[in-house]
Amino acid sequence: MKLTLILMSLCVLISITSCESHKEEIKEETKFLVTSPIRMDTSISKDYVCQVRSIQHIEMRALEKGYLQEIFVDEGQFVKKGQLMFQIMPTLYKAELQKAQAEANFVEIEYQNTAKLAESNVVAPNELALAKAKLEKAKAELALAQVHLGFTEIRAPFSGIMDRFHVRLGSLVDEGDLLTTLSDNSKMWVYFNVPEAEYLEYESTAKTKEKTHVNLLMANGQMFSYTGIVETIEAEFNNETGNIAFRATFPNPDGLLRHGETGNVRMMIPLTNTLLIPQKSTFEILDKRYVFVLDKDDIIRSRAITVAAELPHIYAVQSGLEVNDKILLDGLRLVRENEKISYDFKNPKEVLSHLDLYAE
């Protein structure tokens, strides 16, 4: 009986020793994938909060004082250039025009009579000149009265969409009172602010005579159907924010965009000769990002890196790595600091080809 127990114990011990040995062999045979950073040209998309403005947006104001007699349009209506929009009661200005017309007719008759007398040397040339001056003055006053009467009709200076009324029919309006606003939405100017560092990068990489195309992400999360072009950069930086304003022009044939909308401009920023690594090869500790780097003896060492930009599944590295470094691609949770590992090296181009990278 004792002999049987001894034999069973030996069998169990051998079995355990064999399993542990087999585990060690498995552990020793485990190979990790390793790659290297790669330098290449690429670009990142960045969103900037923007404000949408009509290419023309003006205030329609009264040019003369009087009662608002007629309103020929409605709020939100599209009006054509030259279309009559408002009529201020013209009675007083019609009377002034008639008075000026009568005065001009009277002075012209006087001038013609004086001219006939001057031909007969009955009156002096100076008297004829004085009569002519009176006639010119009367004509000028007539033209001024016609202008004032014309000011009682408010017409659209360009085709566009009306905003809400600031006055109602029958209101007594004074000269300069706001009636409504008018917006030309055939094209839209979209303004967005760019930090100084990104502006300098943009200027250093922008190609001569080639416009930068941008997209507009609207407030509902959908991308606007048409592409805009960056045409203007303001002259001065805002000293408080350190930003400078860019202006992109978007076509708006469907009239979807309106003055005062907000959204985000999405602009592609080129990155030249940038060091790229897969995001999955990094880990984070206390807001700092690290990678595992293999030394010459294939021993794992953690190293902090600085990320310059983030792409889909990719980091652009600003500092901490060189192109010849070997970094652990996967299995980051299975290794420990200062541990020697076996690995298979994977070409960085092949690694990137399996990621959603928008690169050249």
Distance CA 305, CA 320 (A): 4
- SS3 for 240? coil
Q: Has residue 35 been placed in a domain?
A: yes
Question: Looking at the structure, do residues 165 and 96 belong to the same domain, yes or no?
Answer: yes
pLDDT at 256: 94
pLDDT class of 165 with cuts at 50, 70, 90: very high
Model pLDDT for residues 194-214, shown as the tens digit of each residue: 999 888 878 876 665 678 899
Q: Has residue 293 been placed in a domain?
A: yes
pLDDT surpassing 50 at residue 38: yes
pTM attached to this predicted model: 0.68
Model pLDDT for residues 106-154, shown as the tens digit of each residue: 888 887 888 887 777 777 788 878 888 888 888 888 888 787 777 788 9
Q: Has residue 65 been placed in a domain?
A: no
Which one has a higher pLDDT value, 357 or 272?
272
CATH number for the domain spanning 116: value is 1.10.287.470
Q: Has residue 21 been placed in a domain?
A: no
Q: What is the mean pLDDT of residues 341-355?
A: 87
**CB half-sphere exposure, 139, CA atoms < 13 A:** 9
Q: Has residue 13 been placed in a domain?
A: no
pLDDT class of 360 with cuts at 50, 70, 90: very low
108, two tokens:
């012209």
Question: Looking at the structure, do residues 222 and 263 belong to the same domain, yes or no?
Answer: yes
Please report which residue ranges of 151-258 form alpha helices under DSSP H: 196-205
Q: Answer with the one of 178, 202, 237 that is the final residue of a domain.
A: 178
pLDDT at 209: 61
Question: Looking at the structure, do residues 219 and 173 belong to the same domain, yes or no?
Answer: no
Q: Answer with the one of 270, 298, 316 that is the final residue of a domain.
A: 270
> CA 76 → CA 82, 164, 177, distances in Å?
17, 7, 20
pLDDT at 21: 47
Question: Looking at the structure, do residues 295 and 349 belong to the same domain, yes or no?
Answer: yes
Model pLDDT for residues 290-316, shown as the tens digit of each residue: 999 999 999 999 999 999 888 888 999
Q: Has residue 257 been placed in a domain?
A: yes
Q: What is the mean pLDDT of residues 333-338?
A: 90
CATH number for the domain spanning 296: value is 2.40.420.20
Q: Answer with the one of 143, 178, 213 that is the final residue of a domain.
A: 178
What range defines the domain where residue 284 resides?
A: 30-43+273-353
Q: Has residue 207 been placed in a domain?
A: yes
CATH number for the domain spanning 253: value is 2.40.30.170
